[in-house]
Amino acid sequence: MKFEDVIGQEDCKERLLKMVHEDRIPHAILLCGPAGCGKMAIALAFASYLLCNGHDGDSSRKHSDSDLKDSLDLNGNDDDSCGKCSQCVMLSKWAHPDLHFSYPVIRPAGTGSEHKMSSDDFASEWRHMLLQGPYFTMDQWLSEMNAANQQAQIGVGESDDLIRKLSLKSSQGGYKVSIIWLPERMNAECANKLLKIIEEPPHKTVFIMVCEEPEKLLDTILSRAQRIDVKRIDSKEIEQALIERRGIDADAALRIARSANGSWLSALEALDTSSEKRIFLEMFIMLMRLAYMRNIKELKKWSETVSSYGREKQKRMLSYFLHLVRENFMYNFRNPQLVYMSQDEENFARKFAVFINEANVIEISELMNRAIKDISQNANAKIVFFDLATKVIVSLIKKP
């Protein structure tokens, strides 16, 4: 993984490279940002850069004879990993002995309670997902683990394993890098055990934490890491990547990039004819049509259908509903620069947008936010969604 493979985020790349060139790499870095902005891609590229032997970013690195031989044919770029040395060969398979991954895992059915789950229990699944690309979601990871409706977390077994691994000397004589994906999912026991090693890590050990909800982290962990906020990807960067990497024509790439809202994952979803977002759009259209018709019987069936989704998927669907409510309201102003919708979303909005107006837009948005909160607190999904559906009936009839 190279910096050049990361979509956009030039400011973040330059900041990390400056740390290396000025020899002031923090012992713990916290990359924070929304899903799809490329936090994991940046973490992987930076880890690869630190471990690569084909550049002079680390003047104290010890090169073996074989690495020196490999470096004779390298590109000499001091601002990226070479992709050719023996270290990069191992990194291309995510099998480098000095790169350690920690991530949320589930407890499979039949696993005894005495076993402390750790990332090693799903190492092959994790490596398989990474090889597909550095842009992925928690839901994709849960699917990779066959998690069904289970919630994933980082438990104390992970802290025990990580402390043991990092206490060993570097296998290759350089850095040891620990990438922790979604540290906010660490339970209290795990987080407290890792505090000491994060604050005082072994020599040339770097922690890179990839976080989406930093407010859920312990303050003591936040204070021990240098935070870097990764912004949403610029629409122009997404548009260019769609054209160059996916072969999309310019007009389609422009529309997709605008509606992606800075997320490469959202852009990829728009290209997938069976994508989750298309399913969510169908559910939104069904909800609004049935609510307008006041068809309580079918709304009950609708609520039962969406209640069968996993909780993470339900929250993503409701967040998408919020997006559509906002976009349909803005559509009424007839200013294309204010609207960020796909072609299918806009086709529906042409007739529906008038029903989202000044009298109900805030009320409907609050209904969606309340449903997200209830689902997050493990409320009964059937009750939550049926209550939402019946209240939308009342909201839709309101006129400005």
pLDDT 10s digits, 120-164: 999 999 999 999 999 999 988 998 999 877 889 999 999 999 999
**What's the sign of the alpha-carbon dihedral 19, 135, 28, 67?**
negative
User: Are the C-beta atoms of residues 161 and 103 closer than 8 Å to each other?
Assistant: no
User: Are the C-beta atoms of residues 45 and 2 closer than 8 Å to each other?
Assistant: yes
User: Are the C-beta atoms of residues 146 and 154 closer than 8 Å to each other?
Assistant: no
User: Are the C-beta atoms of residues 100 and 176 closer than 8 Å to each other?
Assistant: yes
Query: What band does 65 get if pLDDT is binned at 50, 70 and 90?
Result: very low
**What's the sign of the alpha-carbon dihedral 67, 68, 74, 77?**
positive
Burial 42-52 (b: 16+ CB within 10 A, else e): bbbbbbbbbbb
Query: What band does 17 get if pLDDT is binned at 50, 70 and 90?
Result: very high
Query: What band does 55 get if pLDDT is binned at 50, 70 and 90?
Result: low
> In the predicted model, what is the mean pLDDT of residues 333-354?
86
pTM of the entire structure? 0.74
User: Are the C-beta atoms of residues 254 and 63 closer than 8 Å to each other?
Assistant: no
Query: What band does 255 get if pLDDT is binned at 50, 70 and 90?
Result: confident
pLDDT for residue 111: 87
Query: What angle, rounded to 10 degrees, do the helices at 361-376 and 311-331 form?
Result: 170
Percentage of the chain beyond pLDDT 70 is 94
Q: How far apart are the C-alpha atoms of 278 and 202, rounded to whole Å?
A: 48
pLDDT for residue 70: 42
> In the predicted model, what is the mean pLDDT of residues 28-37?
94
Tokens coding 252: 């389609």
DSSP 3: G
Residue 92's SS3 state is: helix
pLDDT for residue 176: 95
CA nearest neighbour of 106 among 37, 42, 152, 156: 152
